[in-house]
């Protein structure tokens, strides 16, 4: 039940605030479900893949997908994901946790200053 609520919260806040699902899912899995950070990150990516596929299908049906731009964004993003995953496997969990926290703080500061 807890995972279903985390998924609902992630979808709600992602749609409401325009933030990526991982920004919501990862902290909730770590804090409320007491997951290990690496598992939370990996599971979040899998869940986001399912969500993105569903959203993509709807936008494709409505003719809103610009395939050329999607490729220009998607292929480099996939390469970045491979690099990020490889680096993540080499980092200590504490370092990874600090990096994720710094990212969230940076996002928060940027939002407050806008």
The Cα–Cα gap between 112 and 109 comes to 5
- Domain boundary assignment for the chain: 2-113
Can you count the helices (H) and strands (E) in the chain?
5, 0
What are the two backbone dihedrals, phi and then psi, of residue 40, each rounded to the nearest 5 degrees? -65, -45
Q: How much is the pLDDT for 106?
A: 94
- Which residues make Cβ contacts (< 8 Å) with residue 30, sequence separation at least 6? 36, 37, 40
Question: What is the full per-residue pLDDT of the chain (114 aa) written as tens digits?
Answer: 899 999 998 888 887 877 778 889 999 999 999 999 999 999 999 998 888 888 899 999 999 999 999 999 999 999 999 999 999 999 999 999 999 999 999 989 998 998
Neighbours of 28 (CB within 10 A): 21
pTM for this prediction = 0.82
Contacts of 33 (CB under 8 A, 6+ apart): 2, 3, 6
């Amino acid at each position: 039940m807890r995972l279903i609520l985390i998924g609902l919260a992630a979808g709600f806040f992602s749609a409401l605030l325009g933030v990526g699902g991982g920004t919501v899912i990862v902290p909730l899995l770590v804090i409320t479900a007491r997951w290990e950070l690496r598992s939370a990150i990996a599971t979040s990516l899998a869940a986001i893949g399912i969500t993105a596929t569903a959203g993509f299908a709807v936008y494709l049906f409505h003719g809103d997908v610009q395939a050329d731009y999607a490729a220009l964004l998607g292929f480099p993003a996939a390469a970045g994901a491979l690099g990020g995953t490889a680096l993540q496997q080499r980092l200590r969990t504490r370092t990874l946790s600090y990096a994720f926290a710094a990212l969230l703080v940076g996002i928060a500061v940027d939002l407050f200053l806008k």
